[in-house]
Structure 1
Protein backbone atom coordinates (compact mmCIF):
# COMPACT_ATOMS: atom_id res chain seq x y z
CA UNK A 1 0.00 0.00 0.00
CA UNK A 2 0.95 3.64 -0.39
CA UNK A 3 0.21 6.83 1.53
CA UNK A 4 1.16 10.47 1.73
CA UNK A 5 2.08 10.91 5.37
CA UNK A 6 1.61 14.68 5.40
CA UNK A 7 -1.82 14.64 6.98
CA UNK A 8 -1.26 11.71 9.33
CA UNK A 9 -0.02 11.35 12.89
CA UNK A 10 1.88 8.25 11.82
CA UNK A 11 0.76 4.70 11.15
CA UNK A 12 -0.39 3.45 14.54
CA UNK A 13 -3.91 4.06 15.79
CA UNK A 14 -4.06 6.79 18.47
CA UNK A 15 -6.93 8.57 20.21
CA UNK A 16 -8.12 11.91 18.83
CA UNK A 17 -5.63 12.11 15.91
CA UNK A 18 -5.73 10.91 12.31
CA UNK A 19 -3.60 7.84 11.52
CA UNK A 20 -3.09 5.58 8.53
CA UNK A 21 -4.09 2.47 10.47
CA UNK A 22 -7.37 4.03 11.52
CA UNK A 23 -8.25 5.08 7.97
CA UNK A 24 -7.40 1.71 6.45
CA UNK A 25 -9.16 -0.30 9.14
CA UNK A 26 -12.24 1.88 8.76
CA UNK A 27 -12.21 1.41 5.00
CA UNK A 28 -11.84 -2.35 5.28
CA UNK A 29 -14.59 -2.56 7.90
CA UNK A 30 -16.92 -0.65 5.59
CA UNK A 31 -16.25 -2.92 2.63
CA UNK A 32 -16.06 -6.23 4.51
CA UNK A 33 -18.86 -5.32 6.95
CA UNK A 34 -16.75 -6.46 9.90
CA UNK A 35 -13.96 -5.05 12.05
CA UNK A 36 -10.36 -5.95 11.18
CA UNK A 37 -7.10 -5.67 13.09
CA UNK A 38 -4.10 -4.86 10.90
CA UNK A 39 -0.47 -5.87 11.42
CA UNK A 40 2.02 -3.64 9.60
CA UNK A 41 5.58 -4.19 8.39
CA UNK A 42 6.84 -0.81 9.60
CA UNK A 43 5.18 1.67 11.95
CA UNK A 44 6.03 4.95 10.23
CA UNK A 45 6.15 8.16 12.28
CA UNK A 46 4.07 11.28 11.79
CA UNK A 47 4.72 12.85 8.40
CA UNK A 48 6.58 9.83 6.94
CA UNK A 49 5.33 8.42 3.64
CA UNK A 50 5.15 4.93 2.13
CA UNK A 51 5.12 3.56 -1.41
CA UNK A 52 5.78 -0.06 -0.43
CA UNK A 53 4.10 -0.65 2.93
CA UNK A 54 2.84 -4.18 3.70
CA UNK A 55 0.02 -5.12 6.08
CA UNK A 56 -1.91 -8.27 6.86
CA UNK A 57 -5.16 -9.18 8.58
CA UNK A 58 -7.27 -12.29 9.11
CA UNK A 59 -10.74 -12.61 7.57
CA UNK A 60 -13.10 -15.60 7.34
CA UNK A 61 -12.65 -17.78 4.28
CA UNK A 62 -16.19 -17.10 3.03
CA UNK A 63 -15.67 -13.32 3.25
CA UNK A 64 -12.43 -13.56 1.28
CA UNK A 65 -14.09 -15.72 -1.39
CA UNK A 66 -16.85 -13.16 -1.82
CA UNK A 67 -14.78 -9.98 -1.74
CA UNK A 68 -11.22 -10.54 -2.95
CA UNK A 69 -11.78 -9.99 -6.68
CA UNK A 70 -13.30 -6.53 -6.16
CA UNK A 71 -11.64 -5.46 -2.93
CA UNK A 72 -9.02 -3.07 -4.37
CA UNK A 73 -11.64 -1.21 -6.43
CA UNK A 74 -14.09 -1.03 -3.55
CA UNK A 75 -11.43 0.30 -1.19
CA UNK A 76 -10.64 3.06 -3.66
CA UNK A 77 -14.21 4.24 -3.22
CA UNK A 78 -14.05 4.50 0.59
CA UNK A 79 -10.45 5.44 1.38
CA UNK A 80 -9.28 9.07 1.45
CA UNK A 81 -7.14 10.20 -1.50
CA UNK A 82 -3.90 10.12 0.52
CA UNK A 83 -4.17 6.35 1.10
CA UNK A 84 -4.05 3.79 -1.74
CA UNK A 85 -4.12 0.00 -1.62
CA UNK A 86 -2.41 -1.20 -4.79
CA UNK A 87 -2.90 -4.95 -4.43
CA UNK A 88 -4.36 -7.56 -2.10
CA UNK A 89 -3.52 -11.26 -2.12
CA UNK A 90 -4.04 -14.31 0.02
CA UNK A 91 -1.00 -14.91 2.18
CA UNK A 92 0.56 -18.10 3.45
CA UNK A 93 -0.85 -19.12 6.87
CA UNK A 94 2.55 -18.42 8.48
CA UNK A 95 2.89 -14.93 6.96
CA UNK A 96 3.38 -12.08 9.41
CA UNK A 97 3.88 -8.61 7.95
CA UNK A 98 5.97 -7.46 10.91
CA UNK A 99 7.91 -10.45 12.21
CA UNK A 100 8.33 -12.23 8.88
CA UNK A 101 10.18 -9.38 7.17
CA UNK A 102 13.81 -9.84 6.17
CA UNK A 103 14.51 -6.19 5.41
CA UNK A 104 12.91 -2.77 5.19
CA UNK A 105 14.04 -0.24 2.59
CA UNK A 106 13.72 3.53 3.00
CA UNK A 107 14.65 6.51 0.86
CA UNK A 108 15.26 10.02 2.19
CA UNK A 109 15.16 12.97 -0.20
CA UNK A 110 16.47 16.50 0.23
CA UNK A 111 17.63 19.24 -2.07
CA UNK A 112 20.13 22.03 -1.52
CA UNK A 113 18.97 23.83 -4.68
CA UNK A 114 18.52 27.54 -3.84
CA UNK A 115 14.97 27.43 -5.23
CA UNK A 116 13.99 24.42 -3.14
CA UNK A 117 12.13 21.31 -4.38
CA UNK A 118 9.80 21.34 -7.37
CA UNK A 119 6.24 22.16 -6.29
CA UNK A 120 5.00 18.63 -7.02
CA UNK A 121 7.71 17.12 -4.80
CA UNK A 122 7.49 19.55 -1.90
CA UNK A 123 5.75 17.02 0.39
CA UNK A 124 8.47 14.33 0.09
CA UNK A 125 11.64 16.38 -0.44
CA UNK A 126 13.25 18.53 2.24
CA UNK A 127 14.59 21.95 1.24
CA UNK A 128 18.06 22.21 2.77
CA UNK A 129 19.55 25.72 3.20
CA UNK A 130 23.24 24.79 2.86
CA UNK A 131 25.26 22.99 0.19
CA UNK A 132 25.95 19.33 0.99
CA UNK A 133 28.96 17.22 0.05
CA UNK A 134 27.16 14.03 -1.00
CA UNK A 135 30.42 12.17 -1.68
CA UNK A 136 31.64 12.78 1.88
CA UNK A 137 28.24 11.72 3.24
CA UNK A 138 28.45 8.48 1.27
CA UNK A 139 31.91 7.68 2.63
CA UNK A 140 30.69 8.28 6.18
CA UNK A 141 27.62 6.14 5.53
CA UNK A 142 29.75 3.16 4.50
CA UNK A 143 31.41 3.11 7.92
CA UNK A 144 28.03 2.44 9.58
CA UNK A 145 27.21 -0.78 7.73
CA UNK A 146 26.86 -4.09 9.53
CA UNK A 147 25.45 -5.25 12.84
CA UNK A 148 25.85 -2.67 15.61
CA UNK A 149 24.12 -1.26 18.62
CA UNK A 150 22.52 1.88 17.16
CA UNK A 151 21.47 3.24 20.55
CA UNK A 152 23.01 6.63 19.67
CA UNK A 153 20.57 6.93 16.77
CA UNK A 154 17.39 5.57 18.42
CA UNK A 155 14.71 6.74 20.77
CA UNK A 156 14.82 3.85 23.19
CA UNK A 157 11.65 1.94 23.97
CA UNK A 158 11.29 -0.06 27.15
CA UNK A 159 12.29 -3.69 26.61
CA UNK A 160 13.30 -3.19 22.96
CA UNK A 161 16.77 -3.86 21.58
CA UNK A 162 18.68 -1.23 19.59
CA UNK A 163 20.92 -3.78 17.87
CA UNK A 164 20.27 -3.75 14.13
CA UNK A 165 21.98 -4.97 10.96
CA UNK A 166 22.37 -2.08 8.53
CA UNK A 167 22.47 -3.68 5.08
CA UNK A 168 22.71 -0.52 2.99
CA UNK A 169 23.33 3.14 3.64
CA UNK A 170 24.30 5.12 0.57
CA UNK A 171 24.16 8.75 -0.50
CA UNK A 172 23.92 9.99 -4.08
CA UNK A 173 23.32 13.27 -5.83
CA UNK A 174 21.12 13.21 -8.93
CA UNK A 175 19.49 15.71 -11.28
CA UNK A 176 15.74 15.35 -11.54
CA UNK A 177 12.84 17.43 -12.87
CA UNK A 178 13.88 20.72 -14.44
CA UNK A 179 17.48 20.01 -13.48
CA UNK A 180 16.84 20.24 -9.74
CA UNK A 181 19.53 18.30 -7.87
CA UNK A 182 18.37 15.93 -5.16
CA UNK A 183 20.52 14.29 -2.50
CA UNK A 184 19.04 10.85 -1.81
CA UNK A 185 19.93 8.62 1.13
CA UNK A 186 18.98 4.95 0.73
CA UNK A 187 18.81 2.87 3.91
CA UNK A 188 18.08 -0.84 4.28
CA UNK A 189 18.16 -2.96 7.44
CA UNK A 190 16.61 -6.04 8.97
CA UNK A 191 14.60 -3.54 11.01
CA UNK A 192 14.92 0.04 12.21
CA UNK A 193 14.32 1.29 15.72
CA UNK A 194 12.35 4.44 16.49
CA UNK A 195 13.70 7.52 14.60
CA UNK A 196 16.80 5.59 13.48
CA UNK A 197 16.72 6.46 9.77
CA UNK A 198 16.07 10.15 10.35
CA UNK A 199 18.83 10.26 12.98
CA UNK A 200 21.28 8.57 10.63
CA UNK A 201 20.40 11.16 7.99
CA UNK A 202 20.93 13.93 10.55
CA UNK A 203 24.38 12.58 11.36
CA UNK A 204 25.32 12.35 7.69
CA UNK A 205 24.10 15.88 7.04
CA UNK A 206 26.52 17.14 9.69
CA UNK A 207 29.32 15.52 7.65
CA UNK A 208 27.92 16.87 4.38
CA UNK A 209 27.97 20.42 5.74
CA UNK A 210 31.58 19.99 6.89
CA UNK A 211 30.71 20.40 10.58
CA UNK A 212 31.82 16.86 11.49
CA UNK A 213 34.61 14.55 10.20
CA UNK A 214 33.91 11.44 8.13
CA UNK A 215 34.32 9.03 11.01
CA UNK A 216 32.09 10.94 13.44
CA UNK A 217 28.80 9.10 12.71
CA UNK A 218 30.47 5.68 13.10
CA UNK A 219 32.24 6.80 16.25
CA UNK A 220 28.88 7.32 17.94
CA UNK A 221 28.23 3.57 17.77
CA UNK A 222 30.25 3.30 20.96
CA UNK A 223 27.50 5.12 22.84
CA UNK A 224 25.00 3.18 24.94
CA UNK A 225 22.33 5.88 24.81
CA UNK A 226 20.83 8.45 22.48
CA UNK A 227 23.39 10.99 21.25
CA UNK A 228 21.80 14.38 21.86
CA UNK A 229 24.11 16.09 19.36
CA UNK A 230 22.65 14.07 16.48
CA UNK A 231 19.78 16.01 14.89
CA UNK A 232 16.68 14.17 13.68
CA UNK A 233 16.04 15.06 10.04
CA UNK A 234 12.54 16.32 9.11
CA UNK A 235 9.95 13.56 8.75
CA UNK A 236 8.54 14.45 5.34
CA UNK A 237 11.74 13.57 3.47
CA UNK A 238 11.41 9.89 4.44
CA UNK A 239 9.54 7.19 2.51
CA UNK A 240 9.25 3.45 3.15
CA UNK A 241 9.72 2.04 -0.34
CA UNK A 242 9.82 -1.77 0.05
CA UNK A 243 9.77 -4.71 2.45
CA UNK A 244 11.42 -8.08 1.73
CA UNK A 245 10.14 -11.49 2.87
CA UNK A 246 11.54 -15.01 2.62
CA UNK A 247 9.91 -17.75 0.52
CA UNK A 248 6.80 -19.26 2.09
CA UNK A 249 8.77 -22.22 3.46
CA UNK A 250 10.92 -19.88 5.53
CA UNK A 251 8.21 -17.63 6.98
CA UNK A 252 7.66 -19.45 10.28
CA UNK A 253 11.39 -19.72 11.00
CA UNK A 254 11.98 -16.04 10.19
CA UNK A 255 9.11 -14.91 12.42
CA UNK A 256 10.45 -17.02 15.29
CA UNK A 257 13.93 -15.56 15.00
CA UNK A 258 12.62 -12.00 14.84
CA UNK A 259 10.34 -12.42 17.85
CA UNK A 260 13.23 -13.78 19.88
CA UNK A 261 15.47 -10.83 18.95
CA UNK A 262 12.88 -8.10 19.38
CA UNK A 263 11.34 -9.45 22.55
CA UNK A 264 7.91 -9.79 20.93
Structure 2
Protein backbone atom coordinates (compact mmCIF):
# COMPACT_ATOMS: atom_id res chain seq x y z
CA UNK A 1 0.00 0.00 0.00
CA UNK A 2 1.41 3.35 -1.01
CA UNK A 3 1.64 6.16 1.50
CA UNK A 4 3.01 8.86 -0.75
CA UNK A 5 2.00 12.38 0.15
CA UNK A 6 -0.47 13.87 -2.32
CA UNK A 7 1.05 16.35 -4.76
CA UNK A 8 0.86 19.90 -3.44
CA UNK A 9 0.88 18.82 0.21
CA UNK A 10 3.52 18.67 2.94
CA UNK A 11 3.56 15.98 5.62
CA UNK A 12 4.14 17.54 9.03
CA UNK A 13 5.19 15.63 12.15
CA UNK A 14 3.73 16.74 15.49
CA UNK A 15 5.17 15.81 18.89
CA UNK A 16 2.63 16.29 21.63
CA UNK A 17 1.48 15.46 25.14
CA UNK A 18 -1.80 15.50 27.01
CA UNK A 19 -3.50 14.76 30.29
CA UNK A 20 -6.16 12.22 29.35
CA UNK A 21 -8.35 12.74 32.42
CA UNK A 22 -11.05 14.78 30.68
CA UNK A 23 -10.76 13.18 27.23
CA UNK A 24 -12.81 10.34 25.76
CA UNK A 25 -9.64 8.98 24.19
CA UNK A 26 -7.59 10.08 21.20
CA UNK A 27 -9.91 9.35 18.29
CA UNK A 28 -12.79 11.54 17.18
CA UNK A 29 -16.19 10.14 18.13
CA UNK A 30 -19.79 10.73 17.21
CA UNK A 31 -21.95 12.53 19.72
CA UNK A 32 -19.67 15.44 20.47
CA UNK A 33 -17.48 13.72 23.04
CA UNK A 34 -14.25 15.56 23.77
CA UNK A 35 -11.18 13.90 22.21
CA UNK A 36 -7.53 14.82 21.73
CA UNK A 37 -7.74 14.46 17.95
CA UNK A 38 -10.82 16.65 17.83
CA UNK A 39 -9.23 19.41 19.90
CA UNK A 40 -6.04 19.55 17.82
CA UNK A 41 -7.85 19.41 14.49
CA UNK A 42 -10.19 22.18 15.61
CA UNK A 43 -7.21 24.30 16.68
CA UNK A 44 -5.40 23.66 13.37
CA UNK A 45 -8.48 24.67 11.43
CA UNK A 46 -8.71 27.91 13.39
CA UNK A 47 -5.05 28.99 13.34
CA UNK A 48 -4.59 28.18 9.63
CA UNK A 49 -7.85 29.98 8.80
CA UNK A 50 -8.96 27.03 6.68
CA UNK A 51 -12.68 27.67 7.03
CA UNK A 52 -14.59 24.41 6.93
CA UNK A 53 -11.59 22.29 5.90
CA UNK A 54 -10.31 19.81 8.50
CA UNK A 55 -6.79 18.44 8.14
CA UNK A 56 -6.98 14.96 9.68
CA UNK A 57 -4.30 13.64 12.00
CA UNK A 58 -2.77 10.16 11.98
CA UNK A 59 -1.38 9.11 15.36
CA UNK A 60 1.24 6.63 16.56
CA UNK A 61 -0.91 5.21 19.36
CA UNK A 62 -4.67 5.64 19.74
CA UNK A 63 -4.97 6.00 23.51
CA UNK A 64 -8.20 5.15 25.35
CA UNK A 65 -10.30 7.42 27.53
CA UNK A 66 -8.36 8.53 30.60
CA UNK A 67 -4.94 7.48 29.28
CA UNK A 68 -2.21 10.14 29.20
CA UNK A 69 0.65 10.81 26.78
CA UNK A 70 4.00 12.50 27.25
CA UNK A 71 5.65 11.43 23.96
CA UNK A 72 2.82 11.02 21.46
CA UNK A 73 3.54 11.49 17.75
CA UNK A 74 1.13 12.33 14.94
CA UNK A 75 1.29 13.57 11.37
CA UNK A 76 -0.90 15.76 9.22
CA UNK A 77 -0.77 16.58 5.52
CA UNK A 78 -1.12 20.33 4.89
CA UNK A 79 -1.34 22.15 1.56
CA UNK A 80 2.06 23.61 0.68
CA UNK A 81 0.76 27.24 0.65
CA UNK A 82 -0.75 26.75 4.14
CA UNK A 83 2.50 25.32 5.50
CA UNK A 84 4.62 28.06 3.93
CA UNK A 85 2.37 30.80 5.28
CA UNK A 86 1.94 29.53 8.82
CA UNK A 87 4.77 27.18 9.81
CA UNK A 88 6.99 29.77 11.56
CA UNK A 89 4.22 30.87 13.91
CA UNK A 90 2.09 27.72 13.98
CA UNK A 91 3.48 26.31 17.23
CA UNK A 92 2.85 29.50 19.23
CA UNK A 93 -0.59 29.97 17.69
CA UNK A 94 -1.55 26.42 18.63
CA UNK A 95 -0.37 27.07 22.20
CA UNK A 96 -2.73 30.02 22.35
CA UNK A 97 -5.66 28.11 20.91
CA UNK A 98 -5.39 24.64 22.48
CA UNK A 99 -6.86 23.83 25.91
CA UNK A 100 -4.37 23.53 28.73
CA UNK A 101 -4.55 19.72 28.94
CA UNK A 102 -3.03 19.19 25.48
CA UNK A 103 0.22 20.68 24.11
CA UNK A 104 2.04 20.43 20.80
CA UNK A 105 5.79 20.70 21.43
CA UNK A 106 7.24 20.44 17.94
CA UNK A 107 6.09 20.81 14.34
CA UNK A 108 8.41 19.97 11.47
CA UNK A 109 8.32 18.70 7.93
CA UNK A 110 8.51 14.90 8.05
CA UNK A 111 11.13 12.97 6.08
CA UNK A 112 10.09 10.97 3.03
CA UNK A 113 8.25 7.74 3.89
CA UNK A 114 7.26 8.87 7.38
CA UNK A 115 3.94 7.69 8.79
CA UNK A 116 3.36 8.36 12.49
CA UNK A 117 1.58 5.02 12.93
CA UNK A 118 3.13 2.58 10.49
CA UNK A 119 6.74 3.80 10.57
CA UNK A 120 7.05 3.32 14.34
CA UNK A 121 9.22 0.41 15.51
CA UNK A 122 8.22 0.58 19.16
CA UNK A 123 6.00 2.32 21.68
CA UNK A 124 6.94 2.69 25.34
CA UNK A 125 4.32 3.08 28.06
CA UNK A 126 4.60 3.53 31.81
CA UNK A 127 2.00 2.37 34.28
CA UNK A 128 2.24 3.84 37.79
CA UNK A 129 0.78 2.25 40.90
CA UNK A 130 1.34 2.53 44.65
CA UNK A 131 0.60 0.16 47.52
CA UNK A 132 1.04 2.90 50.11
CA UNK A 133 -1.48 2.12 52.89
CA UNK A 134 -2.46 5.79 52.98
CA UNK A 135 -3.37 5.88 49.29
CA UNK A 136 -2.18 8.19 46.50
CA UNK A 137 -0.75 11.68 46.87
CA UNK A 138 -3.71 13.95 46.00
CA UNK A 139 -1.50 15.82 43.50
CA UNK A 140 -0.91 12.54 41.61
CA UNK A 141 -4.38 11.05 41.91
CA UNK A 142 -5.08 11.30 38.17
CA UNK A 143 -1.84 9.53 37.23
CA UNK A 144 -1.22 6.80 39.83
CA UNK A 145 -3.37 3.77 40.70
CA UNK A 146 -3.83 2.82 44.34
CA UNK A 147 -3.59 -0.92 45.03
CA UNK A 148 -4.73 -1.66 48.57
CA UNK A 149 -2.64 -4.84 49.00
CA UNK A 150 1.15 -4.90 49.58
CA UNK A 151 2.98 -5.69 46.34
CA UNK A 152 6.06 -7.89 45.87
CA UNK A 153 7.91 -6.15 43.04
CA UNK A 154 10.48 -8.96 42.73
CA UNK A 155 7.71 -11.51 42.12
CA UNK A 156 6.12 -9.21 39.55
CA UNK A 157 9.43 -8.85 37.69
CA UNK A 158 9.89 -12.63 37.75
CA UNK A 159 6.43 -13.07 36.24
CA UNK A 160 7.11 -10.41 33.62
CA UNK A 161 10.06 -12.37 32.21
CA UNK A 162 7.73 -15.12 31.02
CA UNK A 163 5.81 -12.67 28.83
CA UNK A 164 8.70 -11.21 26.83
CA UNK A 165 9.19 -11.92 23.13
CA UNK A 166 6.90 -12.47 20.16
CA UNK A 167 3.62 -14.13 21.08
CA UNK A 168 -0.06 -14.14 20.31
CA UNK A 169 -1.36 -11.93 23.13
CA UNK A 170 -5.01 -12.86 22.56
CA UNK A 171 -5.35 -13.64 26.29
CA UNK A 172 -4.44 -10.04 27.11
CA UNK A 173 -6.24 -8.17 24.33
CA UNK A 174 -9.75 -7.14 23.46
CA UNK A 175 -10.20 -8.68 20.03
CA UNK A 176 -11.06 -6.54 17.02
CA UNK A 177 -12.48 -8.04 13.86
CA UNK A 178 -9.79 -8.71 11.27
CA UNK A 179 -6.91 -7.58 13.52
CA UNK A 180 -4.06 -9.77 14.67
CA UNK A 181 -3.08 -10.04 18.33
CA UNK A 182 0.53 -11.08 17.62
CA UNK A 183 2.98 -8.63 19.15
CA UNK A 184 6.63 -8.53 20.24
CA UNK A 185 6.94 -7.48 23.88
CA UNK A 186 10.43 -6.01 24.13
CA UNK A 187 10.47 -4.86 27.74
CA UNK A 188 8.31 -5.36 30.81
CA UNK A 189 9.97 -4.36 34.06
CA UNK A 190 8.95 -2.75 37.34
CA UNK A 191 10.82 -0.47 39.70
CA UNK A 192 9.73 0.98 43.05
CA UNK A 193 10.92 4.51 43.70
CA UNK A 194 11.78 6.21 46.97
CA UNK A 195 8.34 7.84 46.84
CA UNK A 196 6.67 4.42 46.97
CA UNK A 197 5.41 4.60 43.39
CA UNK A 198 5.95 1.45 41.35
CA UNK A 199 6.56 2.25 37.68
CA UNK A 200 6.04 -0.52 35.14
CA UNK A 201 7.88 0.12 31.87
CA UNK A 202 6.21 -1.64 28.94
CA UNK A 203 7.69 -1.52 25.44
CA UNK A 204 6.58 -3.38 22.32
CA UNK A 205 6.56 -2.98 18.56
CA UNK A 206 2.83 -2.29 18.90
CA UNK A 207 -0.01 -2.98 21.32
CA UNK A 208 -3.46 -4.42 20.80
CA UNK A 209 -6.51 -3.03 22.58
CA UNK A 210 -6.26 -3.14 26.41
CA UNK A 211 -2.98 -5.10 26.25
CA UNK A 212 -0.91 -2.97 28.64
CA UNK A 213 -3.66 -2.60 31.22
CA UNK A 214 -4.38 -6.36 31.10
CA UNK A 215 -0.71 -7.26 31.54
CA UNK A 216 -0.50 -4.95 34.55
CA UNK A 217 -3.67 -6.48 35.96
CA UNK A 218 -2.11 -9.93 35.79
CA UNK A 219 1.15 -8.77 37.39
CA UNK A 220 -0.73 -7.09 40.24
CA UNK A 221 -2.42 -10.42 40.98
CA UNK A 222 1.07 -11.94 41.29
CA UNK A 223 2.42 -9.03 43.31
CA UNK A 224 -0.27 -9.24 45.97
CA UNK A 225 0.09 -13.02 46.32
CA UNK A 226 -3.14 -14.16 44.69
CA UNK A 227 -1.27 -16.04 41.93
CA UNK A 228 2.19 -17.51 41.46
CA UNK A 229 4.88 -15.95 39.29
CA UNK A 230 4.27 -18.55 36.54
CA UNK A 231 0.58 -17.74 36.18
CA UNK A 232 0.72 -14.83 33.65
CA UNK A 233 2.78 -16.96 31.23
CA UNK A 234 0.29 -19.83 31.58
CA UNK A 235 -2.55 -17.45 30.72
CA UNK A 236 -0.58 -16.26 27.68
CA UNK A 237 0.01 -19.84 26.50
CA UNK A 238 -3.68 -20.72 26.91
CA UNK A 239 -4.53 -18.00 24.39
CA UNK A 240 -7.96 -17.14 25.80
CA UNK A 241 -9.19 -14.43 28.12
CA UNK A 242 -9.06 -15.41 31.78
CA UNK A 243 -11.72 -13.85 33.98
CA UNK A 244 -9.07 -13.37 36.68
CA UNK A 245 -7.12 -10.95 34.45
CA UNK A 246 -8.50 -7.52 35.22
CA UNK A 247 -8.08 -4.54 32.91
CA UNK A 248 -6.78 -1.98 35.38
CA UNK A 249 -8.05 1.59 35.37
CA UNK A 250 -6.69 3.86 32.62
CA UNK A 251 -5.45 6.81 34.67
CA UNK A 252 -2.20 5.10 35.69
CA UNK A 253 -1.12 4.69 32.06
CA UNK A 254 1.03 7.13 30.08
CA UNK A 255 2.44 6.80 26.55
CA UNK A 256 6.03 7.92 27.18
CA UNK A 257 7.82 7.60 23.84
CA UNK A 258 7.53 6.34 20.26
CA UNK A 259 10.59 5.04 18.41
CA UNK A 260 11.29 5.35 14.69
CA UNK A 261 14.08 3.96 12.48
CA UNK A 262 16.59 6.03 10.55
CA UNK A 263 15.05 8.18 7.82
CA UNK A 264 16.22 5.90 5.01
CA UNK A 265 14.37 2.94 6.61
CA UNK A 266 11.04 4.70 7.19
CA UNK A 267 9.35 3.66 3.95
CA UNK A 268 10.35 0.01 4.35
CA UNK A 269 9.09 -0.06 7.95
CA UNK A 270 5.88 1.62 6.83
CA UNK A 271 5.25 -1.19 4.34
CA UNK A 272 6.29 -3.99 6.71
CA UNK A 273 4.00 -2.81 9.49
CA UNK A 274 0.94 -3.04 7.24
CA UNK A 275 1.44 -6.77 6.66
CA UNK A 276 -0.74 -9.09 8.74
CA UNK A 277 1.50 -10.96 11.15
CA UNK A 278 1.80 -14.68 11.77
CA UNK A 279 3.87 -16.65 14.24
CA UNK A 280 6.68 -18.83 12.84
CA UNK A 281 5.41 -22.23 11.81
CA UNK A 282 1.71 -21.42 12.09
CA UNK A 283 0.88 -20.09 8.64
CA UNK A 284 -1.98 -18.15 10.15
CA UNK A 285 -2.66 -15.81 13.02
TM-score (norm 1): 0.96
Q: Which residue of 2 is the match for residue 45 of structure 1? A: 64
Q: Which residue of 2 is the match for residue 125 of structure 1? A: 144
Q: 2:249 aligns with which of 224, 234, 244?
A: 234
Shift of 1:15: 1.2
Aligned pair 1:107/2:122, yes or no? no
Q: Which residue of 2 is the match for residue 259 of structure 1? A: 274
Shift of 1:262: 6.2
| CA deviation map 1:176-223 (0-9, x unaligned) | 3xxxx0011100000000000000000000000100010100111223
Q: Aligned equivalents of 1:110 and 1:91: distance in 2?
A: 36
SS at match of 2:254: strand
Q: Aligned equivalents of 1:194 and 1:79: distance in 2?
A: 28
Q: Aligned equivalents of 1:226 and 1:24: distance in 2?
A: 36
Segments of 5+ residues of structure 1 without an aligned counterpart are none
Q: Aligned equivalents of 1:227 and 1:72: distance in 2?
A: 46
Q: 2:95 aligns with which of 66, 72, 76?
A: 76
Indicate the structure with greater helix content: 1
Aligned pair 1:219/2:240, yes or no? no
Aligned pair 1:23/2:39, yes or no? yes
How many corresponding residue pairs?
Answer: 259
Given that 2:112 and 2:263 are in contact with CA atoms closer than 8 Å, whether structure 1 keeps it comes out as no
Aligned pair 1:65/2:80, yes or no? no
| CA deviation map 1:15-56 (0-9, x unaligned) | 121111111110111111232110000000110000000000
SS at match of 2:24: coil
Given that 1:151 and 1:223 are in contact with CA atoms closer than 8 Å, whether structure 2 keeps it comes out as no
Q: Aligned equivalents of 1:47 and 1:135: distance in 2?
A: 28
TM-score (norm 2): 0.89
Shift of 1:172: 1.1
Superposition CA RMSD, Å:
1.2
Q: Aligned equivalents of 2:153 and 2:49: distance in 1?
A: 51
Shift of 1:226: 2.3
SS at match of 2:46: helix
SS at match of 2:193: strand
Q: Structure 1: which 4+ aligned runs deviate by more than 4 Å?
A: none
Shift of 1:175: 1.4
| CA deviation map 1:132-175 (0-9, x unaligned) | 11111011111110000000000000000000000000011111
| CA deviation map 1:43-83 (0-9, x unaligned) | 00110000000000100122112211111110011111110
SS at match of 1:175: coil
Q: Which residue of 1 is the match for residue 22 of structure 2? A: 7
Given that 1:11 and 1:44 are in contact with CA atoms closer than 8 Å, whether structure 2 keeps it comes out as yes
Q: Aligned equivalents of 2:214 and 2:59: distance in 1?
A: 22
Q: 2:225 aligns with which of 162, 185, 210?
A: 210
Q: 1:54 aligns with which of 53, 58, 73?
A: 73
Segments of 5+ residues of structure 2 without an aligned counterpart are 1-15, 279-285
Aligned pair 1:167/2:186, yes or no? yes
